[in-house]
Amino acid sequence: MNDVYYPFHLPPNIPFQIQVIQIADIYKHWHPTVELILMLRGSVTAKVQGEVSHLREGDLLLINSNQIHELSGQDNCLALTVHLDMHKFDLPQAEADQLYFVCNSSKDPDQSRYDNLRSLIALVVERNAAQAQDAAALYDNKSFAYSMLKELTREFQASRSTTPSQDKYLDRMNEIVRYIDDHYKEDLSLVQLASAVHLSPPYLSSLFSRYLDTTFSDYYNSVRLGHAV
């Protein structure tokens, strides 16, 4: 089970959302936001686009938008997550879509590169845990957001390898997994799902294999199990 230990209720016009969660298992998924995971306690095994990382206390990992990932927590682990919505920054949409970062302290011998980012996250938590969401908080949080973006682009920006055609297929998969989440109680079959999303069953099956590295039935069962827990 993955419990939200400390949610921070920020207004929707802030370019990020933060929460502290206790991670057990999070099955394969992706999202349009950039996610920063800062380990507070315990350890997590993260698999991002097939690459495995072992995170321990103090480690910082960035997951880019639309990267398929899964997490498995050990040792009663606790993590702070920051979701950055690049489309809420004052950037052209094409530029926001192309931003890509490589930020993984668990595989980097130079830990000093991450100090500024860790400090900014700590300031974000301190500001939002202790004070009300007033006009001053709005300006502070927007300042923090742009400071985090500046630090990411200065230290961790890299070339994006995802092609536009891959993005198109990920958009299609987003539609499919949203349908599963909305209808998971209905005892879906591959044929029923294929009909609902206007694809042939063999082609739909190949999408699960290609993008989620699993079968439809295994993914569907993991969704049902997650909701049951």
pLDDT of residue 1: 52
- CA dist 43 and 58 (Å) reads 10
- CA dist 207 and 204 (Å) reads 5
pLDDT of residue 129: 86
pLDDT of residue 163: 47
Give the pair of three-digit tokens for residue 135: 């006009």
- CA dist 126 and 31 (Å) reads 26
Give the pair of three-digit tokens for residue 223: 């969704």
Query: Whose structure tokens read 């599963």?
Result: 180
- CA dist 56 and 79 (Å) reads 10
pLDDT of residue 67: 84
Q: Which amino acid is at 153?
A: T
For the chain (length 229 residues), average pLDDT per consecutive 10?
Answer: 72 91 83 93 92 96 89 91 94 86 96 96 90 84 96 92 58 83 89 92 88 83 73
Say if residues 84 and 36 touch (Cβ distance below 8 Å): yes
pLDDT of residue 167: 58
